[in-house]
């Protein structure tokens, strides 16, 4: 998302800098903008995720950059950036990428009423220091709606050229059913549902296999659980072209995470012509078939495979309604920033 927005902003004549946590300090010029790396510790149990905990270093970098607009994508550690921006009269928006009530239930094992109360109190405090809260779907907006905090909906997009049905190399009707899971392997994403779905299909005599793209704290446990199943674990895949080819060669992509507020991997799968089965209640369910539990996932897989080319054509058509250019246009409008005439669509 950051790379796509940065490239879009640059295409309209604006400068874009992403300040990110890293192992070492430095700066990198990229096609999408400038990456500024600030030292940040790894969060235990996340398989490598880092955070920006040195608030003074972050604010010092912002003083040096003197931005006209600021976007914040981590409300857990960067609330102080909203305060910095407010004190300097710089418009600042918060991207709400996750549902706090869902995370509290899933990761913290907090009972639902307490999780809701915790999320409501936290969201009131966080949202008060930002000018706008941006969500990607109605599902993402729900926890703000219930406390009366206004949000702006800006759906994310997909690179319709990088993710395309033409990348598919498998011949139609080759016998096997190939499933894909493209996800962070952590408890809130419910990756075990994909293994359970595969097991049910094979128990019914379906020649099915699963390809997993992604890494995370659940990786070792999943590998042990999959010892007797035809599962290929690719780990974290840096090359987007490899991700695109893998998704295109799958017959169905599984999106079992119940807390997804958008689901970029699912949208990239649709752009490749590969239909998606998603957890019922998540935002991804709006992009394809929805299921509650492995048995329904397996049933939808068989239904989509049975539809053949029709399902693949419908998947691509759904993705074509969500190109990145619309996301960039909406964000520039939110920022009150000029849009280059040649690039606007």
Residue with the two structure tokens 């991700």: 243
More confident residue, 287 or 320: 320
State whether 28 and 62 are in the same domain. Answer: yes
State whether 178 and 288 are in the same domain. Answer: yes
Would you state the pLDDT for residue 61? 97
At residue 84, does pLDDT exceed 70? yes
State whether 169 and 152 are in the same domain. Answer: no
**Coil, strand or helix: which one is 101?**
helix
273 contacts 248 by C-beta, under 8 angstroms:
yes
User: In the numeric block, which tokens belong to residue 185?
Assistant: 């392997």
Which range, of 45-59, 84-98, 287-301, 309-323, averages the lowest pLDDT?
45-59
Helix 138-145 to helix 112-127 angle (10° resolution) is: 90
Domain total of the chain: 2
Helices (H) and strands (E) in the chain, counts: 13, 13
CA of 315: how far to CAs of 127, 159, 177, 307, 310, in Å?
36, 14, 17, 12, 9
State whether 262 and 207 are in the same domain. Answer: yes
At residue 91, does pLDDT exceed 60? yes
Nearest Cα to 285, choosing from 134, 103, 115, 137?
137
More confident residue, 263 or 219: 219
State whether 122 and 223 are in the same domain. Answer: no
The string of DSSP letters for 197-238 reads HHHHHHHTT--EEEEEE---TTHHHHHHHTTTS-EEEEES--
Nearest Cα to 146, choosing from 164, 170, 119?
119
State whether 153 and 215 are in the same domain. Answer: no
37 contacts 25 by C-beta, under 8 angstroms:
yes
Would you state the pLDDT for residue 337? 87
Give the whole-number percent of the chain exceeding pLDDT 90: 78
State whether 150 and 191 are in the same domain. Answer: no
At residue 318, does pLDDT exceed 60? yes
User: What is the residue range of 150's domain?
Assistant: 2-157+323-343
**Coil, strand or helix: which one is 159?**
coil
Give the whole-number percent of the chain exceeding pLDDT 70: 97
State whether 221 and 204 are in the same domain. Answer: yes
State whether 115 and 199 are in the same domain. Answer: no
Would you state the pLDDT for residue 97? 87
Q: How far does Cα 290 stand from its chain's mean position? A: 18
**Which CATH number fits the domain that encloses residue 63?**
3.40.50.2000
User: For the residues 60-76, what does the mean pLDDT come to?
Assistant: 95
State whether 131 and 180 are in the same domain. Answer: no
Quote the mean pLDDT of the chain: 92
**Coil, strand or helix: which one is 107?**
coil
Would you state the pLDDT for residue 173? 60
247 contacts 166 by C-beta, under 8 angstroms:
no
Residue with the two structure tokens 């807390």: 259
**Spatial separation of the C-alpha atoms in residues 132 and 206, rounded to whole Å:** 49
Which is it for strands 26-30 and 33-39: parallel, antiparallel or unpaired?
Answer: antiparallel
User: For the residues 136-142, what does the mean pLDDT come to?
Assistant: 90
275 contacts 288 by C-beta, under 8 angstroms:
yes
State whether 146 and 78 are in the same domain. Answer: yes
CB atoms closer than 10 angstroms to residue 234: 15
Contacts of 161 (CB under 8 A, 6+ apart): none
pTM, full prediction: 0.83
Long-range contacts, 67-72 (Cβ 8 Å, 24+): 67/17, 68/337, 69/93, 69/335, 69/337, 71/5, 71/95, 72/130
Residue with the two structure tokens 């639902």: 112
CB atoms closer than 10 angstroms to residue 170: 12
pLDDT in tens, 152-197: 999 999 999 999 999 999 876 677 999 999 999 999 899 999 999 9
State whether 196 and 302 are in the same domain. Answer: yes
Largest Cα–Cα distance in the chain? Answer: 64
CA of 287: how far to CAs of 23, 97, 139, 141, 211, in Å?
36, 17, 13, 17, 21
CB atoms closer than 10 angstroms to residue 51: 15
pLDDT band at 344 (very low <50, low <70, confident <90, very high): very low
More confident residue, 316 or 45: 316
**Coil, strand or helix: which one is 63?**
helix
pLDDT band at 25 (very low <50, low <70, confident <90, very high): very high
């Amino acid at each position: 998302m950051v790379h796509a927005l940065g490239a879009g902003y640059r295409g309209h004549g604006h400068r874009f800098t992403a300040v990110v946590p890293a192992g070492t300090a430095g700066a990198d010029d990229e096609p999408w903008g400038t990456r500024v790396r600030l030292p940040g510790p790894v969060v235990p149990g996340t398989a490598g995720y880092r955070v920006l905990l040195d608030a003074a270093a972050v604010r010092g970098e912002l003083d040096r950059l003197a931005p006209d607009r600021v976007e914040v994508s981590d409300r857990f550690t960067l609330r102080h950036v909203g305060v910095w921006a407010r004190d300097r009269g710089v418009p600042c928006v918060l991207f709400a990428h996750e549902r706090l009530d869902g995370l509290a239930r899933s990761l913290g094992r907090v009972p639902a009423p307490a999780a809701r109360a915790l999320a409501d109190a936290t969201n009131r405090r966080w949202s008060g220091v930002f000018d706008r809260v941006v969500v990607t779907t109605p599902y993402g907006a729900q926890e703000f709606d219930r406390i009366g905090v206004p949000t702006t909906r800006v759906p994310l997009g997909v690179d319709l050229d990088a993710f395309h049905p033409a990348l598919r190399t498998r011949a139609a009707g080759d016998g096997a059913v190939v499933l894909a899971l493209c996800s962070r392997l952590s408890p809130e994403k419910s990756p075990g549902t994909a293994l359970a779905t595969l097991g049910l299909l094979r128990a019914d005599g379906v020649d099915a296999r699963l390809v997993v793209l992604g890494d995370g704290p659940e990786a070792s446990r999943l590998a042990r659980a999959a010892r007797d199943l035809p599962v290929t674990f690719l780990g974290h895949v840096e090359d987007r072209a490899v991700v695109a080819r893998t998704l295109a060669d799958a017959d169905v992509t599984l999106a079992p995470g119940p807390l997804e507020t958008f689901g970029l991997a699912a949208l990239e799968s649709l752009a490749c012509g590969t239909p998606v089965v998603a957890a019922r209640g998540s935002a991804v369910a709006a992009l394809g078939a929805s299921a509650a539990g492995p048995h329904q996932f397996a049933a939808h897989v068989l239904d989509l495979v049975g539809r053949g080319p029709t399902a693949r054509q419908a998947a691509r058509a759904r993705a074509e309604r969500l190109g990145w250019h619309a996301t960039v246009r909406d964000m520039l409008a939110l920022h009150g920033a000029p849009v280059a005439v040649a690039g606007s669509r």
